[in-house]
Amino acid sequence: MAEVRNKQVVLKNFVVGFPKESDMDIVEGTITLKVPEDSSDVLLKNLYLSCDPYMRLLMTKEEDLSLGVVTYTLHSPLTGNGVSEVVESRDPDYEKGDLVYGMTKWEEYSLIPSSQILFKIVHTDVPLSYYTGILGMPGLTAYGGFFDVSSPKKGDNVFVSAAAGAVGQLVGQFAKLSGCYVVGSAGSKEKVDLLKNKLGFDEAFNYKEEPDLNAALKRYFREGIDIYFENVGGKTLDTVLPNMRLHGRIPVCGMISQYNLTQPEGVTNLAHLIFKRVKMEGFNVNDFCHLFPKFLEFALPLIREGKVVYVEDIVEGLENAPAALVGLYTGANVGKQVVVVAHE
C-alpha cells in the first residue's frame, strides 16, 4: 500500500494580535493512500485551498475566544474550504476522480468524513478555483447576505467595505445587477482601479487616503446609505451609522479590522439605529446552504456570459499558504486569495 509524502500547514502556537507566518509550520508528514475498511471516509487530493478571514478566529486559544466554537488544534493542519479530487471513497456517493468542494485540511492529501463534502463539482467549464470563491462559500455569502438579508430595491444606495475582497467584489456586482448605486472602499489604488474599471462599481475610494471617512461618505452618498454591506467593523461602522438612511439595512458579514485587536474599537453611534430605524443583522453562510443549488443556477450563466467577473489572487504551493493567509489581514491580497496545492 503506497505511503506517500503529505506536506501540511500546522498551527505552531495560538495567535494573539495579527497572525504571522511564524505562527504556522510546514511539516512533512506521510499518509497511506487508503481509506480504512471500516469507515465511510473519503480520501482527497487537495487542489485549491481557500484563505478566509474567519480562519483568524480559529487560531485563537479557545478560552480567549469563548464562543463555543472548536478552534484549531496545535500542531495539526489548519482546516478550511477547498476543491479536491477523490482518490478513494468508501461512501458510495463518491468515486475516484470526482471533484468535490467542502471542508478539507491544509495538506496535500486528506482523509475526511464524507459529511464534510458540500457538493460534487459538476460544471467544469469554469475555472476550478472559482469553487473556492465565486462558486463557493464567498459567493453564497454574497448572494445570501445581499439578496436575503439586505432586501435590495432598485435605486438603493449601497456601500461595500473591503469591496475588492472575495465577497465584496460580488456584492458590488450583484448590487449593480439589481439597479442599485454602489460605492466600494478598499485599501490601495490598484484595488480602487479594479472596482471602478473591472468590477463595475459606480464609485470607489482608497480609505487609507481619506483623512475624514465621514466627508468621503457624504461626498458619495449625499442622500445617505440604504445598504451598508459590513465587512470590516470598528471605526468604519461607527462613521457609517450616522450616514444611514431611514429604514436602512446593515448585513454584517464580517469585521475583519477587529479580529486581530486584543481590544476591539468601540462603536459609539448605535443610537442612529433608532433614529433611522436601521436593521443590522449578522449572518453566516451556513444559514444559506439550502440556497446553494439555486445560487449556482444564478451564478453560472452570469459567469459564462461575462456579466459577473471574479478577481482571484492565486498563490502556488502549500509552502506559500501561511504568507497568503497572513496577507488577508493586511490587505495584501487583490481579490479572492487562493492557494494552489496541486493542479488537477
Residues near its own copies (CB under 8 A)? 66-67, 69, 233, 237, 242, 252-255, 258-259, 263-284, 287
Which phi and psi angles does 203 have, rounded to 5°? -145, 160
* Residue among 277, 201, 269, 189 at smallest CA distance from 233: 269
Smallest gap from residue 271 Cβ to its own copies (A): 5
Q: How far apart are CA 163 and CA 337, in angstroms?
A: 14
Q: Give 96 or 279: the residue with its C-beta nearer to its own copies.
A: 279
- Of 112, 177, 181, 169, residue with least CA distance to 138: 169
For residue 49, the minimal CB distance to its own copies (Å) is 23
Calculate the alpha carbon distances from 179 to 117, 166, 175, 249, 344 in Å.
35, 21, 6, 17, 39
For 294, the grid coordinates are 439555486
Residue number, 266 or 306, with CB nearest to its own copies: 266
Query: How far apart, in Å, are the Cα atoms of 321 and each of 90, 107, 332?
Result: 30, 10, 13
- Nine-digit cell string for 38: 471500516
- The b-or-e profile of 77-91 (16+ CB within 10 A means b, else e) is bbbbbbbbbbbbbeb
Residue in this structure with the C-alpha cell 470526482, named with its chain if needed: 98
CA torsion sign, 229 to 314 to 98 to 296? positive
Q: How far is the CB of 43 from its own copies (least distance, A)?
A: 33
By C-beta, is 70 or 274 nearer to its own copies? 274
Name 213's Cβ contacts closer than 8 Å, sequence gap at least 6. 207, 235, 236, 239
In the complex, least distance from residue 96 CB atom to its own copies, rounded to whole angstroms: 38
Q: Minimum Å distance from CB 133 to its own copies?
A: 20
Q: What is the CA radius of gyration of the chain?
A: 20
**24/55 with CB nearer its own copies:** 55
Residues in the chain: 344
User: What are 325's three cell numbers?
Assistant: 493567509
To its own copies, the closest distance from the beta carbon of 56 in angstroms equals 11
> Which residue, 100 or 244, is less far from its own copies as judged by CB?
244
Which is nearest to 336 in space by CA: 183, 179, 199, 230? 199
| 4 versus 16: smaller Cβ distance to its own copies | 16
Select 68 or 306, whichever has its Cβ closest to its own copies: 68
Looking at the DSSP assignment, which residues form a beta bridge with residue 79?
Answer: 105
Please state the closest distance from residue 260 (CB atom) to its own copies, in A.
Answer: 12
Cell of 277: 430605524
